[in-house]
Amino acid sequence: MNKLTSKGELILKTLQHMKGFCTAQEIHKKVPEINLTTVYRNLERFSDSGLVQKISLPHQEFAYEFSEHKHHHTICDSCSNIKHITLPAKVLREIPELSHFDPDSIEVIIRGKCK
């Protein structure tokens, strides 16, 4: 992991504290001393390095989540509600299309509508 800048560290801590997905805007509201562009840039960097998970919401917005435990998500296309779900890793690894590959981690995002 690259060395974090103090701003980066603060952004990450804020994200960690908020538990669950939040947008750059929401983080910016918690730490208004850091400008929105910097918040975005750091979140992108964290997501590139695999430290946080990024999910695209309807309306071209992104949400980010910091989690120590890998899990999966369902996201509603009409209200953007995100739920954290667990799926048995064994089942995912047994997908025939993955037979040529040895996955380290699998992130599943299931889109649809709330029931």
| Residues contacting 93, CB < 8 A, separation 6+ | 103, 106
For Zn ion, the closer of residues 24 and 34 by Cβ is 24
Which one, 31 or 82, has the nearer CB to Zn ion? 82
Using CA atoms, how far apart are residues 74 and 87, in angstroms rounded to an integer? 11
- Judged by beta carbon, residue 108 or residue 114, the one nearer Zn ion is 114
Q: Provide the minimum distance between the beta carbon of 54 and Zn ion in the complex, in angstroms, as a whole number.
A: 11
Helix (H, G, I), strand (E, B) or coil at 19: coil
User: How far apart are the C-alpha atoms of 92 and 94, rounded to whole Å?
Assistant: 5
Q: Would you say 65 and 100 are in contact if contact means Cβ atoms under 8 Å apart? A: no
Q: What does the block give as tokens for 39? A: 């918040």
Report the residue closest to Zn ion, judged by CB: 76
Q: Which residues bind Zn ion (CB under 5 A)?
A: 65, 76, 79, 81, 84, 114
Integer Cα distance of 55 and 64 in angstroms: 6
Nearer to Zn ion, 34 or 55 (CB): 55
